[in-house]
Amino acid sequence: MTAPAFEEFEPARDCGCSGCVHRRRARPRRPPGRLAHLPARRGMAVVAAVSAALGVVTPAAALPAGHPTHRQAVPGDGPDTPQGAESPLHGPGSGAARPGGVLTPRTTRDAIIKRAKSWVTAKVPYSLGRYWTDGYRQDCSGYVSMAWGLNSNQWTGSLAKYGVKIKKSQLQPGDMLLYHNTANPQNGSHVVIFGGWTDSAHTHYKVYEQTPPHTRSRTTPYPYWSHAGKYVPYRYKGLAADSAGAETTDGRTSPDFPGADSFGLGAVNTYVTELGRMLIARGAAAYYPNGPGPAWSEADRGATEAFQRAQGWDDEEADGLPGPRTWGLLTSGGGRDITPQTTEPASHGVPGYPGKGYFRPGQSNDYVTRLGVQLTRKGFGRFYDDGPGPRWGEADRQAVAAFQRGQGWRGGAADGSVGPETWRRLFS
């Protein structure tokens, strides 16, 4: 397989964009005399003859043998990039700009792919300065702007702000693969739409891209034919709730499941914070007395397990670590919320009480954390220097004993042991 060669296109006579205007002015002028009056239909033969006579070297002849041509930068006030600069949409045939509107209009994966296919079907010609009938510039970044439904034409240096960076394992149809060469944007910068894997090993995928001579879709090696280590996957921020990226309760967009390595002991990232926020919205507020944070904790594990058990999952499934199923239910608002009846199995006829074995020296579990959180809410937090935690300790025993004395119990009845009646009264 060979890498696609990029070609330079002639500026349009009727296009008023800065790129075409500049390139029309920069083109070699015909000398006066009879050559200036030769019919235009003689085309390349005349150009070749004139070039030979004047000693002008054509772009193709200037390149070494076997060297592919590349897309050229649009001169003018825009960035030095192999595609046009940021610009508004253009009205059909008029060149008039339309309002930009919302930064990231809502859309779905199906809509993105449908728009991408529309240019493939129409075989839209590649152009640095022309605009298709839908108002988008006919280059690679204009194509992705169109597929994502943006209200403007972007370039490879600006498209990233409309997406969320993701991993290869998270790629789904409608995401983009972006390479922007910051050191020299004219050298290789390109962007494409990911259309889905074509093999189980995830070495090739279906691409939708705008490249000379026109829009195309074909099987492509991951991440691309050239600059293989430079392409970065992104997910559009404006995916609607029925897409894989779902909207959270505060209106922000959550990407797809970020991977198992984003959670668990030692994990510190924004996904852990987002998980906590979603769990609190589903009834896990008791696990987060100080609110969710980016560092994975026992509170995150316990709240996740509680949510999983609320779905009726068994011990193997309810392991306290979010997987694709757990994450999907949380981001979409599906499944059942956490309730006292479904958080843990009943023991001794008391909902949620796990048994005395969980509250002994050396034990470390989420039930101890929940106990401490509830004791703090009841006014017995003074026994915890650093707040409740998962490991049973003397602070827990003293707090329980104080609570029991507050119930009027004395002697052995107020020894700090957590029995079913203590649990029932504490959580009632």
Write the DSSP string, 346-390: -BTTBTT---GGGSSTT-BSHHHHHHHHHHIIIIIGGG-SS---S
| pLDDT recorded at residue 153 | 92
Q: Which residues contact 41 (CB under 8 A, 6 or more apart)?
A: none
What letter does residue 59 receive in the DSSP assignment? H
Angstrom distance (rounded) from CA 17 to CA 76 = 10
The pLDDT assigned to 340 comes to 54
As given in the structure block, the two tokens for residue 157 are 């240096």
Identify the pLDDT of residue 177. Answer: 97
**Token pair recorded at residue 315:** 């011990």
Residue with tokens 């999907």: 328
Burial of residue 261 (CB within 10 Å: 0-12, 13-18, 19+) is exposed
Q: Is 191 exposed, middle or buried (0-12, 13-18, 19+ CB in 10 A)?
A: buried
pLDDT of residue 110: 87
Cα separation of 244 and 167, whole Å?
Answer: 14
173 membership: H or E segment, kind and range: none
What pLDDT, on a 0 to 100 scale, did the predictor assign at position 83? 62
CB-count exposure of residue 90 (10 Å: 0-12, 13-18, 19+): buried
Q: How far apart (Å, rounded) are the C-alpha atoms in residues 354 and 308?
A: 17
| φ and ψ at residue 261, rounded to 5 degrees | -75, -5
pLDDT at 395: 93
Q: What is the chain's pLDDT, residue by residue, as a tens digit (428 residues)?
A: 444 444 334 445 555 555 455 455 545 444 444 443 444 444 444 433 434 444 433 333 333 333 333 333 333 333 334 567 788 887 654 344 344 445 778 888 989 999 999 999 999 999 988 999 999 999 999 999 999 999 999 999 999 999 999 999 888 899 999 999 888 887 889 999 999 888 777 889 999 999 999 999 999 999 999 888 899 999 998 887 544 433 333 333 344 688 888 898 888 888 898 899 889 888 888 888 778 888 888 889 888 988 998 888 877 778 889 988 898 888 877 788 887 543 344 455 566 777 787 898 888 877 888 898 899 888 998 998 877 888 899 999 999 999 999 999 988 889 999 988 999 899 87
Supply the pLDDT for residue 94: 37
